[in-house]
Amino acid sequence: MEFERKLAQWRDEGFIDQTAVDRIKAFEKGQPQKKKIPLLLLIGLIFFALAVFSFIAANWQAIPELLKVAMVLGLMWLFYVIAYFSEKKHFGQPILFRLLGLAMFGASILVTAQTFHFSLSNSVLPWAIFIAALAHYFQWRHLAYVLVIFVFGIFTLTSFLPNTNWVEWGIFIAISFAWFHFSKDDAPKILSWMLLFFSGLLMWDLVSYSSPFWPIWTLFALVLLLFLVPTGKQKLLSPLYLIFGAVMLIVYLALRGETEMSLVDLNWPESIALAAAGLGVLFLAYTRFRDIIWISILGAMGFLLFDDTAIALALVAEVSALAYLIISQRQNRPLAPGFVYFILVHFVIYVIYAWERLDMSLFFLIGALLLFALSAAAWWLNRKREGAAS
């Protein structure tokens, strides 16, 4: 046995003595052993389940409506009961049975809606699935429930359309914020942050004021969340702000350069307000959250979009990409995100300005030469700094 071989090796090397070996073996023997389901029994159960579901599927139309709902609910409780005994008797995977039970709960919601002709849009049915997934997470704290919550959260958000109202939007914000605030692990922090961001995009449907800057306003508003999380979690969330900010800048560049974006949705008062918000984010980032200082560039978007040639926006995107690479290199940070951002910006600029005027290989050769020149300059400056220090 590998475990006993390791103990013998540690004993022979002098890390532990024979008394410690005996105590470890006695402790391990006293631990409850996980019971395994016999393979043939497991295969038989799988075939039995397939037979039952095949029979139900073949006769689904002939089954009375209320019996359909009762059958799905019965399966739900069956899986939860199996999960309970699986955890108590140490066999199988309780998490798997609970996920199946949660799936049956969702199926019961859909069957009920279909049976009684309920609409899933602007109803409590998507909410029931979303809240049930949240209850599973806070009860058992498993990553699988985090993913389920996120999927059902997106489903609940889309169910608001096309007639979103303030009450359900506010309740969703409150629930997502509570999930963000009371979660201690990394995955729920990230996914709840994303739910809060996506809920901000519903402003296009929620209010009558048409603005192309709702994503930017949402990202700026989410900066306030960083005051509520410890420093360690700020390091976790900072890449989200940078990724979403970079995607926004690239999307705005593509839209401004490749489409006839109407200036009706652009106005000077909002552009000035957005610039003021960008300066506020710049101040907060410089004094408290230095890692996200790059997103303050988005505050100038209101002014940049007035240029229908998109040249100013392209210059901002290109310069910010190069500056991010240079600063990351000087601070010994990972360069991969900066290179990806630079390549995407470079490709969008090529599509906008050089698709029919310049060969793609020549365009990217120019970008490569530019990067090589910057790398050589950074290397030279680094050598000069090290020489001065020595």
The closest alpha carbon to 317, from 343, 335, 291, 293, belongs to 343
What pLDDT was estimated at residue 333?
79
Low-confidence ranges of the chain (pLDDT < 50): 263-264
**How many residues belong to the chain?**
390
Question: Would you state the pLDDT for residue 360?
Answer: 64
What confidence tens digit (pLDDT) does each residue in 92-106 have? 678 888 888 888 887
Q: What integer pLDDT is reported at residue 101 of this predicted model? A: 82
pLDDT of 52: 65
The rounded distance, in Å, linking the Cα atoms of 73 and 108 is 6
What's the pLDDT score for residue 118?
A: 66
Look-up of token digits 């995407």: 344
